[in-house]
């Protein structure tokens, strides 16, 4: 019988496809059978069999193992009551969203009663933590590896220590490598060999770790019977010396944190005072409504977040120009409507602007209610920069510090490189001469007041990220703002910057000893005494008007 060439080709192709199909499926079935057997023991076996199944899963390399073991540790590994299928469940408050533990396929939602939880003993949980740590130790993400090292360090045994020693040689991330080194040194502190313990303590005294401090403190303490926990006097003395070394660094880190918080407080003071320095220096107006202009900026941030609840980061950025414009317009209205009729009468301007501040406060109470409003912090401003166990810097205060410096530099550029800036400086130095030279002093006054008010609104945006927004927000900063302006030198921006940071740092250093209220009083007393010696502040204004 003759088979046509085309049909013969089809037969050969069918045979080859059958052979390749059998070859492709034979290895995975054989390779995955121990894994499937371990899963069956996990869901149906006794507690000893489950423990053995966990150890088997740890030895079998499979991509699903980490998810299954983590679900088992978290109490999210179940079997279905209908067909005893092994599933991973996530509680949705009405039931569970489940997925197949073997394939990872989503299986939909079921009721709580449709699943049976796989229970564990405390011993099995400890074993699971070690195994999960070992699996995560090979993860691509350094953060996952670091978390794994810290988790394994809590229940380190010989097997874990061998694994960490092997990982230390090939670990590339410095933080993970350091964590492994500290873990191994902490274990060496319990070595029966005295020389090993001495070497470990000498190495650990240079480490910034709270666990190291705890272990060293335990060595020099006494037990209930009055005996030292560490019987060896040499080891004990070495531990005391190491603690002294670490405590010296702790004091240094504490000082760094204090300076940072002082700078962040100073940044807030600078932002709140810098607009006041312009209006006070150029116009000689004591604006008691300056704090309320800051409050308007803070409420602008709140309103922007209400309009864009799903885009907090963008809303905060958009609130900056919006707050500037709103506060500047209100400031110009105050200057054109009230202050321009009271030039040369400082007491009347003080009383008038105080009345304006009361009006603005009551207006906000009527619109937003007297209750404080909470402004959410964007994700990129949340949390802190954890440098080590003893030093962390909060991101929101760091961004406020950077923001303050940017505003200061931008304002300097405006005053030095624009026509408005030239006119403002001319009026500040000698108003009569500037008017004689044709400079429209009335317009300069309005624009200057608007510029200072706009910066106050921008300061309110920054304040909204560190405190609640309320009708009395500005009252907490108006006195401090005037102190900064007077201390730095009326109308001098550099003086305002130096004075703000100086008073902020001084406050933070005094607060631990004197308390927040007494610290402010001491700073105020210092400024009063300082002004007695230098009435014009740190950087007195120059010009004929200043001399007069």
Closest CA to 472 of 299, 339, 265, 277: 299
pLDDT at residue number 301: 92
pLDDT at residue number 7: 46
Q: Which token pair is 223?
A: 């037990």
Residue 263's alpha-carbon distances to 337, 398, 407, 473, in angstroms, are 37, 9, 15, 20
pLDDT at residue number 405: 92
Counting every residue written for the chain, the total comes to 548
- For tokens 């449709």, name the residue: 114
pLDDT at residue number 69: 80
pLDDT at residue number 32: 63
How would you label 331-359 residue by residue, b for 16+ Cβ within 10 Å and e otherwise?
bbebbeebbeebbeeeeebeebbeebbee
pLDDT at residue number 136: 72
Distance between CA 158 and CA 251 in Å, rounded? 36
Question: In sequence order, what are the beta bridge partners of 117?
Answer: 78
Q: Which token pair is 237?
A: 């003395």
Tell me the three state secondary structure of residue 418: coil
Domains identified in the chain and CATH numbers = 30-122 (no CATH), 137-231 (no CATH), 252-374+401-547 (1.10.3470)
pLDDT at residue number 325: 94
pLDDT at residue number 429: 74
Closest CA to 86 of 98, 74, 70, 73: 98
Q: Which token pair is 46?
A: 């006794």
Mean pLDDT by 10 residues, the chain (548 residues): 46 42 39 73 78 77 74 83 83 83 82 83 78 73 78 72 78 82 84 86 85 84 76 85 89 90 89 83 79 91 88 88 93 89 82 90 89 84 82 88 91 87 79 82 85 90 87 83 83 84 88 81 85 78 50
pLDDT at residue number 545: 44
């Amino acid at each position: 019988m003759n088979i046509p060439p085309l049909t013969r080709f089809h037969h050969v192709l069918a045979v080859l496809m059958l052979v390749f199909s059998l070859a492709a499926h034979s290895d995975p079935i054989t390779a995955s059978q121990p894994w499937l057997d371990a899963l069956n023991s996990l869901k149906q076996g006794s507690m000893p069999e489950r423990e053995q199944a966990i150890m088997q899963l740890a030895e079998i390399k499979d991509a699903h193992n980490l998810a299954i073991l983590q679900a088992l540790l978290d109490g999210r590994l179940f079997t279905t009551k209908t067909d005893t299928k092994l599933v991973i469940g996530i509680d949705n408050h009405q039931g569970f969203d489940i997925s197949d533990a073997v394939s990872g396929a989503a299986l939909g939602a079921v009721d709580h009663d449709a699943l049976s939880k796989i229970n564990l003993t405390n011993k099995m949980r400890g074993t699971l933590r070690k195994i999960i740590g070992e699996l995560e130790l090979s993860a691509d993400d350094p953060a996952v590896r670091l978390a794994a090292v810290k988790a394994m360090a809590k229940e380190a045994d010989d097997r874990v220590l061998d694994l960490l020693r092997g990982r230390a040689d090939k670990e590339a991330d410095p933080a993970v490598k350091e964590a492994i080194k500290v873990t191994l040194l902490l274990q060496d502190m319990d070595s029966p060999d005295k020389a090993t313990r001495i070497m470990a303590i000498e190495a650990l005294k240079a480490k910034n770790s709270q666990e190291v401090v705890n272990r060293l403190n335990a060595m020099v303490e006494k037990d209930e019977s009055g005996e030292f926990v560490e019987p060896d006097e040499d080891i004990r003395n070495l531990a005391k010396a190491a603690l002294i070394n670490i405590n010296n660094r702790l004091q240094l880190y504490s000082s760094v944190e204090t300076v940072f918080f002082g700078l962040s407080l100073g940044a807030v003071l600078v932002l709140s005072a810098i607009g006041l320095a312009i209006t006070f220096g150029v116009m000689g107006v004591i604006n008691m409504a300056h704090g309320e202009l800051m409050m308007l900026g803070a409420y602008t941030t709140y309103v922007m977040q209400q309009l864009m609840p799903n885009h907090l980061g963008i809303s905060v950025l958009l609130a900056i120009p919006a707050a500037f414009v709103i506060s500047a317009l209100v400031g110009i209205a105050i200057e054109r409507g009230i202050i321009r009729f009271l030039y040369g009468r400082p007491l009347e301007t003080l009383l008038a602007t105080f009345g304006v501040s009361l009006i603005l406060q009551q207006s906000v109470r009527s619109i937003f209610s007297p209750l404080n409003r909470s402004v959410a912090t964007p994700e990129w401003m949340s949390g802190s920069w954890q440098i080590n166990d003893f030093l962390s810097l909060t991101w929101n205060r760091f961004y406020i510090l950077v923001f303050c410096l940017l505003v200061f530099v931008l304002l300097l550029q405006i005053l030095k490189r624009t026509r408005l800036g030239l006119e403002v400086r001319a009026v500040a130095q000698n108003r009569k001469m500037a008017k004689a030279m044709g400079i429209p002093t009335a317009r300069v006054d309005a624009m200057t007041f608007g510029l200072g008010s706009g910066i106050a609104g921008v300061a309110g945006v920054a304040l909204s990220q560190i405190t609640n927004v309320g009708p009395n927000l500005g009252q907490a900063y108006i006195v401090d703002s005037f102190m900064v302006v007077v201390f730095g030198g009326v109308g001098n921006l550099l003086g305002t910057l130096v004075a703000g940071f100086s008073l902020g740092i001084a406050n933070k250093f005094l607060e631990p000893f004197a308390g927040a209220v007494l610290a402010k009083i001491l700073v105020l007393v210092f400024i009063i005494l300082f002004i007695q010696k230098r009435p014009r502040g740190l950087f007195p204004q120059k010009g004929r008007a200043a001399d007069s």
